[in-house]
Amino acid sequence: MAVTTMSAYPHESIPLVFSAEVADAIHEGLPVVALESNVITHGLPYPENAATARKVEEAVRAGGSVPATIAIESGKIVVGMTDADIERFASTPGIPKVSSRDMPVVLAQGRMGALTVASSLVAAELAGIPFFSSAGIGGVHRGAETSMDVSSDLIQFTRSKVAVVSAGAKKILDLGLTLEYLETQCVPVVSYRSDDFPAFYCVSSGFRSPMRLDDDDVIARAIENHWALGNHSSFLITTPVRPEEAIDSDEVDAAIAEATAAAERDGVRGQAITKYLMRAVDAATQGRSSRANMAVLISTAEVGGRLAAAHARYRREVGG
């Protein structure tokens, strides 16, 4: 049974439709992890996309939390997609990818929309869910000093009070500048049980993480401290892909260099460059990067479930 609530805005109300499981979990103070729906509609083909979405939710449960995959449908934000919802989104072609800037229009039009990292953070905060998990975040693109191409994910981190668990960002981005941007915006970056900032399906980006924490309870306290200090921004926790499921960093770098040169030659620019480079890496690795992509979705979700459980436990202890 779905539960609908209205989130008050000065001139409008945004309807949130919760699954019964997610509504009960939030009411009881149980750990919930928000998940993006974009991986369903813009990732693998059907029916692999639906199967993967279910595996990601199962991984959150294995970590000890309740999954809440979020999407937009019929002018409402759906918080906690049912199995039927996942099946419908997975099998319906042409569902648009909706970032935070697109949300007001898509909601007003009453259309279906698959949420990205940025828009999922907006929805999670509105829903009262303090944890979000994604395989990889967006970042500063290579050549951003001239293109100004910076992912809205990074901007949204400065605005949404949500803890984000991810496997870092893709190596096709400028990860050095991505870390610089996060530092400038005072967004904490903590690597969980690793010294390095990971690069999606590569264990390391080649950059050291600003901070390392190994204890779940310490991370929970750090998150609460960040918000208690008056910050209304995200807290980023990275966790690397398992070594046995990772792609060799040098192999990916070589594929990116070759694909970047080809893209320049073919005039591929703007938003098209990301998909172009990712397909080139997949081809160069004989499809292993696609399998690693699926693996990192699942492993990150499990860690997110575990850390959200520790955070919920800490809040209960502090609250008495």
Instruction: Report the catalytic residues.
Output: 36, 170
Distance CA 246, CA 300 (A): 13
List the alpha helices (DSSP H) in the chain: 20-28, 38-41, 48-62, 83-91, 103-109, 117-127, 144-147, 152-157, 175-184, 216-228, 249-266, 272-284, 288-319
Cis peptide bond upstream of 188, omega within 30:
no
Looking at residue 286, what DSSP letter applies? T
217 in a known ligand binding site = no
Only one residue has tokens 């309870």, namely 217
| Among candidate residues 190, 216, 205, 187, the one with its CA nearest the CA of residue 241 | 205
149 in a known ligand binding site = yes
303 in a known ligand binding site = no
| Among candidate residues 170, 192, 235, 216, the one with its CA nearest the CA of residue 308 | 216
Structure token pair of residue 89:
């989104």
248 in a known ligand binding site = no
Beta carbons within 10 angstroms of residue 213's beta carbon: 17
152 in a known ligand binding site = yes
List the alpha helices (DSSP H) in 92-151: 103-109, 117-127, 144-147
266 in a known ligand binding site = no
Cα angle at 136 between 171 and 289, to 5 degrees? 60
Beta carbons within 10 angstroms of residue 267's beta carbon: 7
SS3 track for 8-61: ECCCCEEEEEECHHHHHHHHHCCCEEEEECHHHHCCCCCCHHHHHHHHHHHHHH
Enumerate the known binding-site residues.
97, 117, 149, 151-153
Can you say which residues are annotated as belonging to the binding site for Mn(2+)?
A: 149
Indicate the annotated binding residues for substrate: 97, 117, 151-153
